[in-house]
Amino acid sequence: MTRKDYLKDTKRLVVKVGTSTLTFENGLLNLSRIDKLVRELANLHNKGYEVILVTSGAIGAGMGSLGLKERPKTLPDKQAVASVGQVALIHLYQKLFSEYGKQIGQLLLTKGDISNRGRYLNARNSCLRLISMGIIPVINENDSVAVDEIKVGDNDTLSAFTSTLIDADLLLILSDIDGLYTGNPKTDPSATLINTVKKIDDHIKTIATGAGSKFGTGGMATKISAGEIVTSAGIPMIIAKGFDPSIIGDIMDGQEIGTLFLETKVKLKARKHWITYGTTKTGKIIIDNGAITALKNHHSLLSIGIIKCEGNFHRGEVVSICDSNQNEIAVGISNYSQVEVDLIKGKNSSDISHILGYKDYDEVIHMDNMFIF
C-alpha cells in the first residue's frame, strides 16, 4: 500500500510543532516560518481536514516581548517568561489565522488535565466542540504553572495525548530532523532514513536513544514514546522535518516524506489506554507468582496474592503492579487505599470485612480496570 492510499481516509489531523521549528537559534520566534505554517494549516482546513495544532514557543515569544537575548535558565524565570510569551504567541496565531479567515481557540493543558479522569473528559468535550464549530484548537502546555513540564520534547507527549483525546486519524510531528534514522546521522555517515516503522520495539527504542545521540534527551526518544502512546490507540504517526512547512501539504498528498509509524493491530480500549498512558501512578503493589499467573490468565488481583505495597495511594487512584523484583507487569485502578491494602495483603477476600469492618469489593483491582503489559 502506498503512503497516499494509507492516508486517503485521514480527516482529523494533529500537527505538533516544536521550539526548533518555531524559533531561530537565538531562541526568538521565526515569524516567516510561523506564517507559512499557519497558511499550510489554514489551507488543509479549507480542504476539509479537521486541524488541531499543538505548539511550543511560549518561552521564545516571551523572550521577544521582554527583549531577552538568552533563554532563561531557572524554573521561575522560565515560568515567568512563558507566562508573558503565551499571551504573545496566541495573539500571533490569532492574527495570522484570521488573515486566512480562520478562528482559533486556545487550550492550556498540564499532566494533571490528562491524569484526572474528569478533567480529561472535560478537555475532550471542549476540544471536540471547537472542532465541530469549525474552530482550530491551538494547544500548549501550561508552562507558567507546570513544574516538570518545561522540558524539551514534552510537547511530543502532549501531542500524543491530544491525539488520543480527540480520536485523531494522524499525528504529524514536525521536528529538526527528517525522521527516524538507522543511527545518528550527525555522527554515522552510513545512517539511512527509515521510511516505515511497523512496530515500536526494543530495537527502535535503542536507535532513538543510542550512545552519542543528542536525540536521547528530549529529542527522538520522546517522539518514540509519543509514538507508543498513539499507535497503541490505533493512530498512526509521522515524524518529518518542519523547517519548510509546505511539506505538511505534501505529506497529506501522499508523498513519502519522513518516517511513518503504523498503528498497532490490536487497539487498546479507551479506558485501558488512559489507565496505561494517561495517568500518574501514585504507588506500587507487589504481588507473588501465583497472582502473576492469575493476572496473565485475565483474572482480577485479589488480596491474597499481594506481598506488600509502596507509596501513599487512595481508592480510585492508579498504581503499578510489580513482581518481587520490582518489574512492572501491569497498571490498574485500586479499589482500596494503601492503608487498607496493607491490612488485607496476603488474606482471603472472605476475610476483608472482618479485618476492615466492611468490604466494598472482593478484588483489590478488577481486571476491567487493569492493563497487563
Binding-site positions for substrate:
56, 143, 155
CA distance 353 to 358: 4
d(Cα 336, Cα 348) in Å, to the nearest integer?
15
Nearest to 249 by CA among 101, 46, 95: 46
Question: Grid coordinates representing 338?
Answer: 494503601
Residue 258 three-state SS: coil
The closest alpha carbon to 231, from 273, 283, 188, 285, belongs to 273
Burial class for 299, CB neighbours closer than 10 Å (0-12, 13-18, 19+) = middle
- Crossing angle of the two packed helices 75-99 and 31-46, in degrees rounded to 10: 50
Binding residue ranges: 16, 56, 143, 155, 175-176, 217-223
Strand order in the sheet with 136-141: 104-109, 136-141, 50-55, 12-17, 170-175, 237-241, 259-261, 196-197
Q: Residue 189 in contact with residue 33, Cβ under 8 Å?
A: no
Alpha-carbon span 324 to 56, nearest angstrom:
41
Contact predicate 137/127, CB 8 Å: yes
Letter string b/e over residues 208-244, b meaning 16 or more CB atoms within 10 A of that residue's CB: bebeebebeebbbbbbbbbbbbbbbbbbbbbbbbbee
Residue ranges at the known binding site for ATP: 16, 175-176, 217-223
H or E element, residue 244: none
Contacts of 19 (CB under 8 A, 6+ apart): 56, 57, 59, 60, 152
